[in-house]
Amino acid sequence: MDDRELLKTVMKIVGEENCKDDCAILACGDRVMVATTDMLHRTTDFVDGMTDWQIGWMSAAVTISDIASMGAEPAYVLIAVGLDRWEHLAGIMQGAQDCCRKFGAAIVGGDIDHHHELTIVTTGLGLVDRVHLVQRTGAWPGDLVCITGTPGQAQAWLDGYKQFEKALFEPQPRVAEGRLLSRSGVSAMMDDSDGIALSLYDLLGVNSCGFSLDSDKLPLPEGIPEAQARELAMYGGGDYELIFTLPPDRYPVAGVPCTVIGKVITERVVLVDGKPLQKRGYQHRWA
Amino acid sequence: MDDRELLKTVMKIVGEENCKDDCAILACGDRVMVATTDMLHRTTDFVDGMTDWQIGWMSAAVTISDIASMGAEPAYVLIAVGLDRWEHLAGIMQGAQDCCRKFGAAIVGGDIDHHHELTIVTTGLGLVDRVHLVQRTGAWPGDLVCITGTPGQAQAWLDGYKQFEKALFEPQPRVAEGRLLSRSGVSAMMDDSDGIALSLYDLLGVNSCGFSLDSDKLPLPEGIPEAQARELAMYGGGDYELIFTLPPDRYPVAGVPCTVIGKVITERVVLVDGKPLQKRGYQHRWA
């Protein structure tokens, strides 16, 4: 059993429309509020070597990335901390606060709990004008498929390439890029936190078109044998790049360094170099 | 080290104003949005015998209670579930959904995670008109101190009085009461989830007055020796009653069954029968 299978259970109960995007979409006066929540914990997210400050930073960054992927501006963060040892709290809160400040959000609330395993849940609230809201739906045949930055670096650290520590320990959500993209006619967007492949399958699930990638175009982390770098970029987790679709006449977008890695096609499949892309990446699994 | 000591660490980093109430207070168009987050998990919150449905219900109820205590109407809930076994999810989500529906909220988002210990974090968003927002601050000497319902029942179950199972397993947040009270001139309010005593000390910390209780006036759970019942009502956790202060000329409030248990005094102390009240109740502690 994996998390995407389980999401179907949730959809049946709370409705499909509440499970489609990186954030929930709520009315807030004449603007849109987007809301998202993310659980991280020691055994699966906070690897050995991370400082408390980095743990706090990462916890805020992952939820801010979801806000960025809707084209919204991070506004508020709530943080629930399940602490195994109380000594961790100050560093964690400082890291979360510094991340929030850097990306324009404020920590406005939270909860302190005692837990056997350090567990942090951040909830992010962002704001965006209705016309600038970007969702996972909206991809259109002929659009370009693009990605910011160099995916695969976080997974590269996990696979032993220690020069990529910052990429995994201190992710930098693409808030400025998301904001610019939302004003530039991007048709669909999400972050690639579970890898490019799973992200495209998520987009496939909510759009009535498909995606065709050209593996030669993937930007690859440096200093890694090419085949492995390609594997990391396509299937690795822990990155917080934006993957998005864009009408060709809107490319390039000023101020948003990104790479065209494929195009949107009418056929409802995900292809790489003309063949079906494997549907795998970062997933939670249960026996 | 306990959670209230740790909150001082958090205040230094994120600011005192973000740690004062049951909910954060955010502008949302011309209304106020209140936001709160709560972590619950197996070893400390979900006792043996609770069904998955009840676990989901409780998880939603605790956050809805925080919204009620601000006089607000629950609108949206996000739920992050760290699952030890995937089979729990459907029941949990149904319980959370049923609780949200009963109190007027919708589940709009969430996260599914794999965790060694079942851990659920709910985040609640509520709406209220500015003039009706109630906070922990605002108590005034001469006001009555009141409480809804019969406190101590949840703790009574934990202490072996199994007739109180529903009180602990299926808490009913006082949403309708909170809404009526917010329109009736209540001066300060919070929920009593950590017990009456700690709630009054929390109110003491943010108000410039004190509180004097009359132990004879405490409504007590039935079928329990009086001294024990009094202990449970004053110091027990797991209840979700509203404790509030109210100018005497506003009492009683139509539609809100409640008991006057004391009054607000100028001296900055919490007294019971004229003597200092012990500062203890439901708290998280670390070695």
Quote the DSSP letter at residue A97.
H
Same domain, residue pair A105 and A36: yes
Q: Is A282 part of a structural domain of the chain? A: no
Same domain, residue pair A139 and A252: yes
pLDDT band, very low/low/confident/very high, at B17 (cuts 50, 70, 90): confident
Least CA distance to B90: which residue of chain A? A9
Give the CATH number, domain containing residue B216.
Answer: 3.90.650.10
- Beta-strand relationship, A258-265 and B24-28: unpaired
- Average pLDDT over chain B, rounded to an integer: 96
Give the CATH number, domain containing residue B25.
Answer: 3.30.1330.10
Asked if B18 and A109 come within 8 Å (Cβ–Cβ), the reply is yes
A111, A131, A151 — which closes off a domain? A131
Q: Is B282 part of a structural domain of the chain? A: no
Mean pLDDT of B113-131: 97
Domain count, chain B: 2
Same domain, residue pair A139 and A245: yes
Same domain, residue pair A36 and A119: yes
pLDDT exceeds cutoff 90 at A20:
no
Q: What per-residue confidence (pLDDT) applies to B284?
A: 85
Same domain, residue pair A124 and A203: no
Q: Select from B81, B82, B108 the Cβ nearest to the Cβ of A35.
A: B108
Q: What per-residue confidence (pLDDT) applies to B174?
A: 98
What is the reported pTM? Answer: 0.96
B131, B166, B196 — which closes off a domain? B131
Rounded Cα–Cα distance for residues A166 and A149 (Å)? 14
Residue B133 CA to chain centroid, in angstroms?
16
Min Cα–Cα distance to chain B from A54, Å: 16
Q: Select from B9, B39, B97 the Cβ nearest to the Cβ of A90.
A: B9
Q: Is A80 part of a structural domain of the chain? A: yes
B95, B114, B131 — which closes off a domain? B131
Same domain, residue pair B172 and B238: yes
Q: Is A286 part of a structural domain of the chain? A: no
Tens of pLDDT, residue by residue over B189-248, are 999 999 999 999 999 999 999 999 999 999 999 999 999 999 999 999 999 999 999 999
Rounded Cα–Cα distance for residues A145 and A136 (Å)? 13
Asked if B115 and A39 come within 8 Å (Cβ–Cβ), the reply is yes
CA-to-CA separations, A81 to A118, A132, B55, B205, in angstroms, rounded: 8, 33, 20, 23
Least CA distance to A110: which residue of chain B? B37
Mean pLDDT of A226-253: 96
Q: Is A284 part of a structural domain of the chain? A: no
Asked if A37 and B121 come within 8 Å (Cβ–Cβ), the reply is yes
pLDDT band, very low/low/confident/very high, at A17 (cuts 50, 70, 90): confident
Same domain, residue pair A33 and A140: no
Judge contact between A286 and B85, C-beta under 8 A. yes
Rounded Cα–Cα distance for residues B71 and B148 (Å)? 14
Q: Select from A30, A33, A39 the Cβ nearest to the Cβ of B121.
A: A39
Range of the domain at A162: 135-276
Backbone angles phi, psi at A91, to 5 degrees: -65, -45
- In which region does residue B283 sit, left (phi positive, over 0), alpha (psi from -120 to 50) or beta (all else)? beta
Q: Residues 54 to 73 of B: which have CB under 8 A from any A CB?
A: none
Q: Is B263 part of a structural domain of the chain? A: yes
Q: Is A222 part of a structural domain of the chain? A: yes
Same domain, residue pair B205 and B222: yes
CA-to-CA separations, B256 to A144, B130, B244, B252, in angstroms, rounded: 60, 22, 12, 8
Same domain, residue pair B46 and B113: yes
Q: What per-residue confidence (pLDDT) applies to A150?
A: 96
- Please give the angle made by the CA atoms of A108, A114 and A117, to the nearest 5 degrees: 105
Quote the DSSP letter at residue A215.
G
Quote the DSSP letter at residue A222.
T
What is the Cβ-side half-sphere exposure of residue A256, based on CA atoms within 13 angstroms? 30
> Hey, how many other C-beta atoms are within 10 angstroms of the C-beta on B206?
17
